[in-house]
A and B are shown apart, each in its own frame.
Chain A
Amino acid sequence: MFDLSINGRTRRVDVEPDTPLLWVLRDTLGMTGTKYGCGIAQCGACTVLMDGQAMRSCQVTVDSVGSAKVETIEAVEADATGRKVVEAWVAAQVPQCGYCQSGQVMAATALLRSTPKPSDDDIASAMTNLCRCGTYNAIAAAVRRAAA
C-alpha cells in the first residue's frame, strides 16, 4: 500500500513495491495522458514532474516516490508555466501524431520553471525526449515562444 501525492491529491494504491510509477498512473489510476514508449528511459514519453523535476516515470518504482509531489500532464494547465507551455505548443502547432507530446510538454514545463529564459544549450540539454514524427524544430520554437 502506498500513498502518493499526485496533482495535489493523495492517492492510495495497492501494488508491488517495484511497480513503475508509469503503470500506477496508467493502469491503477486510469491517468493515461502519461505515455509508454520504451520502458527503458530512452524516449521520455512517460515524463512526469516529481518535486518539480522532470522524471521518466517508467524508471521510478512506486516505493521510491515517498512524499514527492508528482505532477502529470492531466494537471499541466493548473500551473502558470504549464499553461504558457501548452499555449505555445498550440500556437506553434507542434504535435503531429501527438504521442510524444505529453512528455515533451512536461519536460518543457520543468525547464521553464527552473530556467525561465533558457539558452539554446539549456533547451538542448533539457529537451531530450524522442519524437518519431520529427517535431524537434517546432518543439524548440515553442519552448522559445513560451519563454518570451
Chain B
Amino acid sequence: MDPMPHHPAAPVGAPTLSRRRLLGSAAGALVLGVALPGRAVRAEAQGPAEGAGAIAPKPGTRVPAFLEIRPDGTVRFLSPFVEGGQGIATGMAQIVGEELDVDPARFLVECAPPGPDYAVVNGIRMTGGSFSTRSSYALMRQLGATARDMLLRAAAARLKVREAELTTRDGTVIHAASGRSLAYGALATDAMALKPNEAASLRPPETFRYIGRPVARIDVRDKSTGRAVYAIDQAVEGMLYAAVAHAPHPGTEPVGIDNEATVRAMPGVHSVHRLPGAVAVAADSWWRARKAVEALSVRWSRPKPTGLDTVAADFSSDGLLAALKASAEAGHVAEAEGDAGAAFAGAAKVIEAEYAAPYLAHAQLEPPSAIARVNGDGTLDVWLPNQMPELFQAVSAKVAGVEPDKVRLHSPMLGGFFGRHFIYENGNPFPQAILLAKATGRPVKVLWSREEEFARDGLRPLSFSRFRAALDAAGHPTAIEARTVGEGPIGRYFGVLMKTPVDPSAVEGIVEKPYAIPNRRMTFTKVAHPVTIAFWRSVGHSMNDAFYESFLDEVAQAGGHDPFDLRVALLKDKPRHLRLLREVADLAGGWKRGPYEAEGGKRARGVALASPFGSETATIAEVSVAEGEARVHNLWIAFDPGSVVNPAIVKAQVESAAALGTSSVLFEQVVYRDGVRQSQNFDTYPILRREHMPAVHVRIVESGAPMGGVGEPGLPGVPPAILNAVAALTGQRVRTLPIANTRLAGA
C-alpha cells in the first residue's frame, strides 16, 4: 500500500476494508455513537477490550478530570466540548457554576484533551448534532454538586465542625455559627483527594441564579480585543510554515515537478514535498511558502474522463442532479403510514413537484490549519480544529504510525465550524502537517489558503426530492409521497453501522413531520456522489424542510387554502406546534400573507415549521423583490427547545442560524463544471453580507418538553419561509435553490 495513504483521514464507513483497518475499531465505536445518537454504544460489537466498553471511569463523574480550583478563586474547567461561537463554554460554566456555587464569570473554560472522562454524549464525545447541552446537562450539574460536596467535607475537616453546619456562597465555604469562612481555592487540594459522593444533592431549580439567565458570555472580551487564540494563531518553537497546492482534480496525483530547484531557491524556502493529492512547500513564513507553492510547475495525473464513481474530467453538478432525477431504482421506505396508493387513486386532485438544492461550502471564516510536532520520545503533538478529539487522535496516530496514546491532541477555539471540523476524506489539513513534520524533522504548521479551502471543504450534498400529494374535494391533503434520491453524510461516513438502508441525514425534514396527513409514503434511493460530502449546519434539515414546507404551500394553493390556516388545520391535535404557530403569528403582529404595501413597496410573507434536533420552530419571513432579487426584511421565529440554560445565547444562536439559512437560500452554491469547483473564494461564493441581513425577532417558548438542540434548529424553517413569501409575492415557486438562480418578477 502507498505509505502515504491517499485518504489518510477516511472515516469508518468508507466501504473498503483497508480504510476500516486504517482507522481501527476504536474509532468505529466512536462513530457508532454519532451515527446512532439515540442508542447506547454497544461495546460488544467492537470486541471485548476496544471501543467505549474499555472505558474505565464513568464519563462526566471524575471531578479532578474536569475542575481545577485555583488559589485566586478562578475555576479552570476542562470541557468535553469545543467552543466555536455557539456559547457552549459559557453554558458549561453556568451549569457547573450553579451547582458548584461559583459565578460563571470566574470560569476559564478549555477544551479537554482526549480521554474517556469526556465521552458524555451517549458514551461518545463530539461537539455536534446540537447535542452538547442536552446530552450533558444532568451530568454537569451533578459534577458541580459533587465538587461542592467535596469542598464542604474538606472544610468540615479543616474547621472541625459538622458538614451540616456549613454553607457556601460564591466560591467560599461559610461556618455561620463561628463566623469563619474558607475560600474554595484554599480547600481545593484537600477536597480533590476525597472520594466523590455521586449522590450529592442538587440545587432546587427555583433557586437557580445562573441557569436560565442571560448570563454574559465569558469569551466576548477576548474576542473583541484580538486576544482569543484560534488554531491559525498558534505557533510552536522551531516551527516551519507550509502551504499546499491541491490537485486540480480531486483524486489525481502529482507525477512530476518541473522547476523544483528554482522554487527551492526562493527566499525562505526550506523544502518542496509531494503529498497524496497535493504538493507542499515548507518555509520560514507562510507567505513565502504560499508564493513558492504557487510557483511550482506540477504535472498531475489525469482524472477519469467520465462516470460518476470519481470526480471525472466531465463531472458537473448539473450532471449529478440529472442522474438523481433519472434514477429509476426503487426507493427504500423511510416512512409509511396508511395506504397512499388508494388515496391517490381516489383523489379529487393530484399535484407533483420536484425540488433540488445545491452543494454548499461551510465557509467558516477561519481557514483550516494544523500544527504537528514529532517529539524525540516518539510522541506526537497536534494542534488542530476539530469537533471530535478522540477520532482525530486515532486518525493522527494512524497517519504517524504510532499508538493513539502517543498522540497529544490540542483543540483550540474554532473560528466558526457549522460541521466543518469532522474528518472528511481529503478535506482536513492535519494529515499533511503530520507527514510534513515527519519528512522535515521539524514542527510544521499547514494552513490552507481560502482558495485551497474552497477546493477541499466537504460539501453539504446536492439534493433532490420529488413530491406528490393527493387532495380531497375540500382541498385537504389526504396523502403525500416523497422520493428522495442521493446521499447523506451519515450514510457516507457511518453507513457501515446503519441498521437500515435509509440514510437519516438524507431524509430528515421530510419524514416525521407533524402534520395529520393520514397516508404517507416517503422513500430514499441511494445514488452516491463522487464528491466529498459533509455535515453542514442542520444537515438534511437544511434543505429538506425547505422542500417539504414549500410543497405544503403548493398543496394549500392547489386546495384553495391559506397556508397558515392549512397548517393550523393539520396540527389540530399537536398542541406544541399549534402554540408555536400562534406565538410566531403574535410576534409578527398577526398572520397575513399579502402581498401588501409597506414602506413604499410590495411585500409578502411566508410561514414554515420545522422539528430539528429535538426542538421545534415556527418561522415567518417577510420579503420584497427589487431588480429580480429577493430581499428579506424580517424573520420572526418562535423557538421551543423545551427549556434553556441561557436565553441570550439561545437567541443569538437562533439569529446566527437564521442568517445562515437566509444566506443559503438566497445565494449559496458550489457548482462543479468540468470536474472542478467553480468557487474559489468569497467573490465566487457569495455569502450573506450586512446589507442583506434581515431583522430577526426571536421568541423563546419553554414548553418543558425534553431539552432539544439549539445551535442548528434555528436554520431549517428560514429557507422555506422565505421561499413561501417569494411565491406569495411573485407567484413564482422557486424549486431549485438558491433563489439567486431565478430572476424574480418585479413586484
Contacts and interface: CB of A to CB of B under 8 A. Distances in A.
Interface of A: 15-16, 19-20, 23, 26-28, 30, 32-40, 42-43, 45, 72-74, 76-77, 86, 89-90, 93-102, 105, 124, 127-128, 130-140
A97 B241 contact: no
15 contacts: A23-B286, A27-B285, A30-B235, A37-B367, A38-B682, A39-B450, A89-B224, A93-B220, A95-B217, A96-B86, A97-B413, A99-B364, A132-B365, A132-B418, A137-B695
A122 to B, nearest CB: 13
Contacts of A137: 655, 693, 695-696
Nearest to B362: A132
A20 to B, nearest CB: 7
A27 B287 contact: yes
A105 B85 CA distance: 17
Closest 9 A/B residue pairs (Cβ): A134-B659, A33-B226, A98-B223, A97-B85, A99-B415, A73-B226, A96-B85, A32-B233, A95-B223
A39 B689 CA distance: 17
A94 B220 contact: yes
A136 B693 contact: yes
Residue among B241, B286, B365 with most chain A CB within 10 A: B365
Contact of A95 (B224, B229, B691): B224
A127 B690 contact: yes
A99 B230 contact: yes
Nearest to B453: A38
Nearest to B228: A98
Contacts of B364: 97, 99, 132
B173 interface: no
B681 interface: yes
A16 B655 contact: no
B634 to A, nearest CB: 11
B525 to A, nearest CB: 33
Contacts of B363: 132
Nearest to B230: A99
Contact of B416 (A16, A86, A99, A139): A99
B688 interface: yes
Contact of A72 (B226, B228, B288, B449): B226
Given A19-B287, A133-B656, A98 B690 contact: no
Contact of B225 (A33, A40, A100, A130): A33
A144 B660 CA distance: 24
Main secondary structure of the interface of A (DSSP, over half): loop
Contacts, number: 169
B499 interface: no
B287 to A, nearest CB: 4
Residue among A26, A32, A99, A134 with most chain B CB within 10 A: A134
Given A105-B225, A133-B416, A134-B660, 13 more contacts: A20-B287, A26-B233, A40-B683, A74-B226, A94-B224, A95-B217, A95-B224, A102-B226, A130-B689, A132-B660, A136-B688, A136-B690, A139-B690
A37 B448 CA distance: 11
B658 interface: yes
Contacts of B682: 37-38, 40, 42-43, 130
Contacts of A73: 225-226
Given A43-B682, A102-B226, A132-B364, A93 B652 contact: yes
Contacts of A35: 232, 365-366, 415
Given A23-B285, A45-B365, A128 B226 contact: no
Nearest to B234: A32
A49 to B, nearest CB: 13
Interface string B221-256: 111111111101101000001000000000000000
Contacts of B230: 99
A15 to B, nearest CB: 7
B286 A27 contact: yes
A84 to B, nearest CB: 12
Contacts of A26: 233, 286
A20 B291 CA distance: 12
Contacts of A27: 241, 285-287
B648 A96 contact: no
Interface string B683-710: 1000111110101100000000000000
B225 A23 contact: no
B542 to A, nearest CB: 15
B689 A90 contact: no
A118 B373 CA distance: 49
Nearest to B363: A132
Contacts of B522: none
Contacts of A20: 287
A101 to B, nearest CB: 5
A99 B365 contact: yes
A43 to B, nearest CB: 6
B285 A43 contact: no
B224 A105 contact: yes
A36 B681 CA distance: 13
Nearest to A105: B224
Contact of B224 (A23, A90, A127): A90
Nearest to A98: B223
A97 B415 contact: yes
Nearest to B451: A39
Nearest to B221: A90
A38 B287 contact: no
B267 interface: yes
Interface in B313-370: 363-367
A48 to B, nearest CB: 11
B629 interface: no
